[in-house]
Every structure is written in structure tokens, then in C-alpha cells.
Amino acid sequence: MQIHVYQTPELAAEAAATLIASEILAKPNAVIGLPTGSSPVETYRRLARMNRDGVVDFSKVTTFNLDEYVGLKGDHPQSYRRFMNENLFDHVNIDKENTHVPCGIGDVEANAVAYEEAIAAAGGIDLQFMGIGRNGHIGFNEPADAYTDVTGIIELTPSTIDANKRFFDSADDVPRKAISMGVGTIMRARKTLLIATGSDKAEAIRTLVKGPVSPKLPASALRMHANAVIILDAAAASLLD
Ligand code: F6R
């Protein structure tokens, strides 16, 4: 696991965008896994700028998002499909047909099976970009007694509902379930890139780097990945010494 620490969240985002752009430069038809949330927003802004400036071309890129709330249609203001359109896809020359976000409506179990099949049909994920929850979750894979494997339905924990209520009118409006890639799906990506900024992630990062590899902190699985990069700002890295 390579860990890079930057003084500011902006520099961390610059590093993450550089790494993703390098992947696409090396393989123009790369398959990239993507997160939503606050963590990737600055990185997406920089990727959009690089695309506008002609540095990186998204026309042959395929993407798979980590997760989506169960019960929210793609046009719901808090749906992750809408987030991705607004924060990245509408600002780069990607073919929207090649962007995949798990579907949280209809037969969600069947959607989960189809999502894994679509990832396999695309040749697997070259680079999986992600954030980390305060409780160490990746995707919506919450602390548990065992790691999840493939894409499936997850019950959100009170910690995650509390962290995400800022995007909704109240905690009661936060969906209780999500459809998420499993930890196994994430681990099968050929490379992984986790970004964490801010002091509220410092404890999760300390446990990820120094604690046991355990499904109690799902992100700790990345310690077993052959090609994992962690990008931090100084605040998120503050408990590592
Ligand atoms: C979102 C996702 C989540 C977030 C995590 C951190 O697609 O997969 O695991 O990365 O909850 O969220 P932020 O970045 O908002 O702190």
C-alpha cells in the first residue's frame, strides 16, 4: 500500500486527478470505478479541467460507480446518478452509455447480479477510486463480521445515516438501504485509489493503516491489495505518527 500525504485537500485532489488521468492516458479505454460524496468533488473538478484543456480524453472510458441508494430514481436530487452527472459526466466528453451507476429501483437483487455481469463484460475494473466513511466503510460496505463479496443490498448503519443526513431535509429522509459493490468487487480491481481529507477521517485512516485487517473496518481489506494507493491531506493523516 502506497501512502501519499499532502498539506492541503486541494493538493490531495490534484494528486488523485493526476493518477486517474495517467491511467486513462496509458489506457484510453480504461474501466474506472468511481465514488460519490464530498471526497471526490475536487478531483472531479480537476479531471473536468484536464478534459477541457485537452490533456485527457474520456471518449473511450467506461465507468462503474460504487453505489446508489435503494428507492431513489436517477433523477432524484440526492441520487448518485444525478451527483455523477452534475459533478463529472456533464463536464467531460464521456459517452453516458458507458457510465454505470447501480440501479436502486425495481428488482434490486436482479440489478445487483446484472451489475457484476456488466463489470465482468467490460473486462473488470482497471482503477477503483473511492472515499472512506468515518466508520471505515468503502462503497456502502459497513463494518460487519465478514467482508461482503459481490454487489448487493446493504442496510445503512446509524453512523452512515447521520453522516449523510446533511444532503437531505432530515435524517428520516435518508434511505435505509443501498445497493453497493462488495468489498470483493473492489478488491478485484487491478488498482485502487482511496482519497481521504479532513480530521473526521483521521481515526478511520489510523485504523486502516495501523489496525488489524478486519471486516470491522471494511477499508482495511485494501492492505491485502497488491496495488493500492492512499492519498491523504495532513488532517486525515494526523494520527499516523
Ligand atoms: C460514496 C461512497 C462512500 C463515501 C464515503 C465518504 O459513493 O462510496 O463510501 O466515499 O461515505 O463520504 P464523503 O466523501 O462524503 O465523506
- Catalytic (active site) residue 142: yes
Residues 121-156: tens digit of each pLDDT: 999 999 999 999 999 999 999 999 999 999 999 999
- Catalytic (active site) residue 14: no
Question: Whole-angstrom Cα distance, residue 131 to residue 182?
Answer: 14
Report whether residue 128 contacts ligand 1, using a CB cutoff of 6 Å. Answer: no
* pLDDT at residue 23 is higher than 90: yes
Residues 88-130: tens digit of each pLDDT: 999 999 999 999 999 999 999 999 999 999 999 999 999 999 9
- Catalytic (active site) residue 75: no
pLDDT band at 160, cuts 50/70/90? confident
pTM over 0.95: yes
Question: Whole-angstrom Cα distance, residue 181 to residue 238?
Answer: 29
pLDDT band at 159, cuts 50/70/90? confident
Question: Of 51, 65, 87, 135, which one is the catalytic site residue?
Answer: 135
Report whether residue 138 contacts ligand 1, using a CB cutoff of 6 Å. Answer: yes
Residues 172-198: tens digit of each pLDDT: 999 999 999 999 999 999 999 999 999
Task: Give residue 132 CA to ligand 1 midpoint distance, Å.
Answer: 6
pLDDT for res 105: 97
SS3 letters for 154-209?
A: EECCHHHHHHHHHHCCCHHHCCCEEEECCHHHHHCCCEEEEEECCHHHHHHHHHHH
Question: Of 23, 42, 142, 233, which one is the catalytic site residue?
Answer: 142
With a pLDDT cut of 90, the percent of the chain lying above it is 96
Q: DSSP class of residue 222?
A: G
Nearest atom of ligand 1 to the alpha carbon of 131: 10
Nearest atom of ligand 1 to the alpha carbon of 80: 7
